[in-house]
Chains A and B, each alone.
Chain A
């Protein structure tokens, strides 16, 4: 429990200034990638690509549909409004075969998923890379504050 609260507390703090802070794209350290390009990030989160550049299979995870961080992330990443992103997915989903990133409950669930699976990729509001590194998480791309 201590371990959990330890992890969560900075997240809670981070949540307070989430409106303006940078967003980090994170993966499992075992994926053996130090950084990704913006295009690569977009490909992975918008269903274009299902593999990391080093051919390792990749699986993107998302935040809740109505969460503020999701809105900020996609708008900052694509330059499009979140509604356009939703429309994009809606078009693909219409065929019944679309596979948008799976939504997770909160930041902890996101971190836990990345920590546990080497093919996971997700994004979180800015954290201390050292702390993340200790958890086996690598920041591969950072969307800076506006």
Chain B
């Protein structure tokens, strides 16, 4: 049994002791009372026998059986007697007689008491004997009768004593302990309070315990003071660290922002260069030599764009803003598109370039095609860059396939200069190439492999390399991906068919090159384009009576940025003037598309956005969707 309270425990012990004591003492009392009852029975029997002695003796003297029987029945008339025997001895005057009787209600005999019967007239003359057995039943009854009050009294006394003892223990011992227990609630390792005991308990074991506890408290108090001091110091250190961390983060953010801004700033004119080159090459009238020069200019510009994109990706990754999308796409087509640019590069260096997709590789998968392409392009680009003779083998093979998932291995094997063993370790680190001489000899930012590794890992894949210096290098990466359906892929792979409507489109764009690019693209698709140089100009256009079907809005503009303009359009009022087309479709144009930007653009009231440099297919799709919304789907 377990008790929450000591006094219950004490009470339990007391009750148990009381029960045991009561039982023992009751048994003893019963024994004693039984003996008393036996003695009493004997005494009573002797008294009775003395009373009938003369009669019995007379009966024997005169050999009178009737009188003898009277005497016997007189004795048997009392409950204390079980049996009576009256025996007269034979002598010269009498042939003797023997009379006996048993109590009519039975019982059991006890030790027989004998009494000699002498002649009344001559004490020397032995006439016979009277033998009486006391009744066991009477003794039991008598024992019971006298035991009941004795036992009740005993039990009462024992219980009262135990109760008094328990009370005394409760008051003297358990109450101080209960007080200790309550006091203990308020005492913690750090508190200045101490446990207190009444005087009568101070010298005993409890006192020693309490003293020990108090000493322990003193020690913990001291320890806590030290601890608090240490904590304060720790806190100080932590605060300093926090400050340093914030500063470091801020610095990193500044760096990332700087990189992002720089690459954006570089990309914008580069987009212009690429766009213009593209338009120039479409001109049928230019000379072949000029076309070749333009071609070289374009490939250089493309290479530059790749580097810029790498830096942008890197800064996004630093900022944790890299997004992986999951869409269904045609893997075969994606690979074909990705590798096609390398065919000419390989041919120019007189290298073979073979791409093989195993037959069991599924055509349609669900993953991020842009990122896969980016990694693949990076690896193939490297392979061709570092190979002077021989060639490059690209192979895509299936590792695992289930109904919904597939695991593919992309392998790029070259016969180039290879990588020394100590270089392999540094290979995937940022801004590292196998050695610094590589940078001088082959160029490159040293970011490509690092980005590739991050991208593969972001897609839950693994990337690896084996290399023999002088023989060649083998890069491979494994990617798990979902299995896609041909249907969704075909929808996205739709051709740029001419739009069925001619739209009137307002473009808010401050940079002239971009104005030219978007105007050219839109006009080629057959739409009417009105350019607004600034955000304010765009608003003025909307206040006027002219009607527009949609707006392309650059994010960054002087005086008022695209977000602000969008907010005014959606509010319907600008400088006390009403804007009619508050629900017009607004498509943002921006160089950086992070989730944050997306949320900001949407919050400002834009419907879509396109990333710069503008992809013609995306532009086409956005307009197609707008036409469907305005004029109903086909």
Contact = CB atoms under 8 A, between A and B. Distances in A.
A95 B67 CA distance: 6
A75 B61 CA distance: 18
Interface in A72-98: 77-80, 84, 87-88, 91-92, 94-98
A71 to B, nearest CB: 15
Interface stretch (B51-59, B131-139, B311-319, B581-589): B51-59
Contacts of A48: 61-63, 93-94
B117 to A, nearest CB: 13
A70 B122 CA distance: 19
Given A46-B62, A98-B62, A91 B54 contact: yes
B227 interface: no
A47 interface: yes
Given A48-B63, A49-B93, A96-B66, A91 B55 contact: yes
Interface string B389-431: 0000000000000000000000000000000000000000000
B67 A91 contact: yes
B120 A84 contact: yes
Contacts of B64: 47, 92, 95, 97-98
A97 B61 contact: no
A45 to B, nearest CB: 10
A18 interface: no
B66 A46 contact: no
Contacts of B54: 87-88, 91
A92 B58 contact: yes
Given A43-B93, A48-B93, A94 B67 contact: yes
A42 interface: yes
Nearest to A90: B58
A94 B70 contact: yes
A49 B121 CA distance: 14
A59 to B, nearest CB: 15
Nearest to B60: A48
Interface in B78-136: 92-94, 120-122, 125
Given A91-B54, A91-B58, A98 B121 contact: no
Contact of A97 (B67, B93, B120): B67
Contacts of B120: 80, 84, 88
Contact of B66 (A78, A88, A97): A97
B70 A95 contact: yes
A95 B66 contact: yes
Contacts of A88: 54, 58, 120
Contacts of A95: 64, 66-67, 70
A47 B121 contact: no
Size class of B's contact patch?
A: 10 to 19
Contacts of A96: 66
A98 B93 contact: no
B66 A47 contact: no
Interface centre among A47, A84, A91 (most CB of B within 10 A): A91
A72 to B, nearest CB: 16
Interface in B13-70: 54-55, 58-59, 61-64, 66-67, 70
A80 to B, nearest CB: 6
Contacts of B125: 39
Contacts of B92: 53
A107 B70 CA distance: 36
Nearest to B61: A48
A33 to B, nearest CB: 14
Contact of A78 (B62, B93, B121): B121
A92 B67 contact: yes
A46 B61 contact: yes
A87 B67 CA distance: 14
A46 B94 CA distance: 13
Contacts of A46: 61-62, 121
Nearest to A78: B121
A79 B58 contact: no
Interface in A28-64: 39-40, 42-43, 46-49, 53
Contacts of A98: 62, 64, 67
A46 B61 CA distance: 8
A77 B121 CA distance: 9
Contacts of A42: 121-122
A47 B67 contact: no
23 contacts: A39-B122, A39-B125, A42-B121, A42-B122, A48-B61, A48-B93, A48-B94, A49-B93, A78-B121, A84-B120, A88-B54, A88-B58, A88-B120, A91-B54, A91-B67, A92-B58, A92-B59, A92-B62, A92-B64, A95-B67, A96-B66, A97-B67, A98-B67
* Shortest beta-carbon contacts, A-B, top 10: A78-B121, A49-B93, A47-B62, A95-B66, A95-B67, A97-B66, A43-B93, A91-B58, A91-B55, A48-B93
Given A48-B63, A88-B120, 8 more contacts: A39-B122, A43-B93, A49-B93, A49-B94, A87-B54, A91-B54, A95-B64, A97-B64
